[in-house]
Amino acid sequence: ALASFEQALSLWRRQNNIAGQADVLNATGLALMSLGETARAGDRYRQALALWEQAGRGVGQGYTRNNLGMLHFAGRHYDAAASEYARAMELLTAAGDNRGIAYVRHNQGDLAAARGDTAAAIQAYEDSLARKRSVDDKYGAALTLTRLAQAQLTAGGAE
């Protein structure tokens, strides 16, 4: 997969397609993160951000900042994760990207839960769920429902 991403990146570079390069770098960051290669993932995300900014693509920046927030969250750098999620929310809200906002809200719920703020987690998950349903994202809704149920159990609501 990483070799294919590198081939795609090379093709986008030859075409001087900045957004294409940013998209591949962002996707490569996700792949590297799933492989536990956090330093390399962070490097790809930062490269993608610079290109999204150069291309003037706020939505792309928002998705990449969300992913960078997930990377910080995985490393338990909660303040850095919160900062990235907040910036992602600003960018995605400005662009009106409800699906992207839904995923950031889900991640903010995870962050609140990790910090022990169950009420804020539930609120974030409920907002995420409503947004995912509004864009007919059944897979995303199922993920968020699972986290919402876990938060509700933590809060003492077994029903």
Nearest to 92 by CA among 105, 102, 101: 101
C-alpha span between 80 and 24 (Å, rounded): 24
- When pLDDT is cut at 50, 70 and 90, the band that residue 159 belongs to is low
Predicted TM-score of the model (pTM): 0.93
User: Are 135 and 98 a contacting pair, CB within 8 Å?
Assistant: yes
Whole-number CA gyration radius for the chain: 16
pLDDT in tens, 31-75: 999 999 999 999 999 999 999 999 999 999 999 999 999 999 999
Whether pLDDT at 157 is above 80: no
**What phi, psi does 117 have (nearest 5°)?**
-100, 80
- Max Cα–Cα distance, the chain, nearest Å: 56
